[in-house]
Amino acid sequence: EAGVAQSPRYKIIEKRQSVAFWCNPISGHATLYWYQQILGQGPKLLIQFQNNGVVDDSQLPKDRFSAERLKGVDSTLKIQPAKLEDSAVYLCASRRGLGGTISGNTIYFGEGSWLTVV
């Protein structure tokens, strides 16, 4: 079974520029997450999709961040304009169902997209 795919792996941009990250979840996984992980910290949830609908985007800075999952499969996370504090790893993850403790609902993470804003 192929894992969660993310691209690009690394990106360096200047502040005020824009950047987009792409994620392809594991086939058949309905739930997709974007997490932001700043160096030395644990991942912080930015947005959660259930199919193509948003379940939780309470911690997404909507003035500069946007995300979509139009066909309920791939997802794109965009930052525009970027700030220095956006430097982080952006992790995409997916889960087959809604979660909870049902067997088979493990969350699988991609390798992450490393963003440096200079």
Partner 1 sequence: SQQGEEDPQALSIQEGENATMNCSYKTSINNLQWYRQNSGRGLVHLILIRSNEREKHSGRLRVTLDTSKKSSSLLITASRAADTASYFCATSRGMEYGNKLVFGAGTILRVKS
Per CB under 8 A, the list member of 2, 40, 70, 104 interacting with partner 1 is: 40
- Nearer of residues 24 and 112 to partner 1, judged by Cβ: 112
Judged by CB under 8 A, does residue 53 bind partner 1?
no
* Closest distance of CB 9 from partner 1, Å: 9
Buried b (16+ CB within 10 A) or exposed e, 71-105: eebebebebeebeeebbbbbbbbbbbeeeeeeeee
Measured from the Cβ of residue 6, the count of other Cβ atoms closer than 10 Å reads 24
What number of chain residues touch partner 1 (CB under 8 A)? 24
Q: How many residues in the chain? A: 118
Give the residues lining the site for partner 1 (CB under 8 A). Answer: 4, 35, 40-45, 48, 55-56, 91, 93, 98-101, 106-112
